[in-house]
Amino acid sequence: MVPHWYLFSIILITIYIYILSNLFKANFLFYAQILMILIYIGQYSNYYIFLDIYKSNVKYPILDTLSVFPMCVTGLTIASLNLIQYFKLYQKKVILFSFIFLFFLFKYDCFVDLGGYNGIMNNLASFFLFTIFYLLPLENINLKFKKIINNITSFTQGVYCLQSVMNPFVNKIFNFQGSLASVFITYFFSYIISSLGLRIFSKTKLKYLFI
pTM: 0.70
pLDDT band at residue 162, thresholds of 50, 70 and 90?
Answer: confident
For 23-63, give the DSSP string: HSTTTHHHHHHHHHHHHHHHHHTTGGGGGGGS-HHHHHHHH
Integer Cα distance of 98 and 68 in angstroms: 21
Residue 209: per-residue pLDDT: 76
Domains of the chain, by residue range, sit at 5-138, 143-209
Instruction: Report, as an integer, the average pLDDT of 114-127.
Output: 75
CA–CA dist 123, 105 (Å, integer): 11
- Band of the pLDDT at 106, cuts 50, 70, 90? confident
Q: How far is the C-alpha of 32 from the C-alpha of 34, rounded, in Å?
A: 5
> In this model, does residue 203 exceed pLDDT 90?
no
Model pLDDT, residue 4: 62
* Residue 34 pLDDT: 93
The predicted pLDDT at position 33 comes to 93
- pLDDT band for 94, please (50, 70, 90 cuts): very high
pLDDT reported for residue 1: 45
30: pLDDT strictly greater than 50? yes
**166-197 per-position pLDDT tens digit:** 878 887 777 766 566 777 888 888 889 988 98
Distance (Å) of CA 80 to CA 1, 17, 29, 75, 85:
34, 15, 9, 9, 11
Average pLDDT over residues 96-111: 84
**Ranges 29-33, 36-40, 71-75, 146-150: which has the least confidence:** 146-150
